[in-house]
Amino acid sequence: MPEKKPINWTNARTLAALAILVGTELVGASWAAGWALGGLFQLGAGWARAIELAFVAIGFFGLYYFMRTAIAHEPVRR
């Protein structure tokens, strides 16, 4: 079995910081968009929460694909 390459800690720290920063922005903005749409259309609390959760799921989905691309361009293993 081939040995694993050592971890490039500079890239790992960069990717962790990127995940925190972009994740906060993307998920927070999508959550706020769901809240705003629920209020704009004057939906009940249950429907507004459902829209918020749907938008948060879309935000996490976007974050997943963003991080996949980031890891492809900045690999953690040397």
- Give the total residue count for the chain: 78
Following CA atoms 21, 22, 28, 34 in sequence, which dihedral angle do they give, to the nearest 10 degrees?
180
Tell me the whole-structure pTM to 2 decimals.
0.84
Of 28, 30, 18, 15, which Cα lies nearest the Cα of 77? 15
Residue 21 lies in a domain: yes
> What's the CA gap between 75 and 18, in Å, rounded?
13
Cα separation, 59 vs 22, whole angstroms: 10
Please report the pLDDT score of residue 4 as a whole number: 85
4 belongs to a structural domain? no
Is 78 among the domain residues?
Answer: no
- Domain span at 34: 9-73
Q: Is the CB of residue 25 less than 8 Å from the CB of residue 77? A: no
42 within some domain:
yes
Q: Is the pLDDT of residue 2 over 80?
A: no
pLDDT tens across 29-67, in order?
999 999 999 999 999 999 999 999 999 999 999 999 999
Q: What is the percent of the chain where pLDDT is above 90?
A: 91
DSSP 42: T
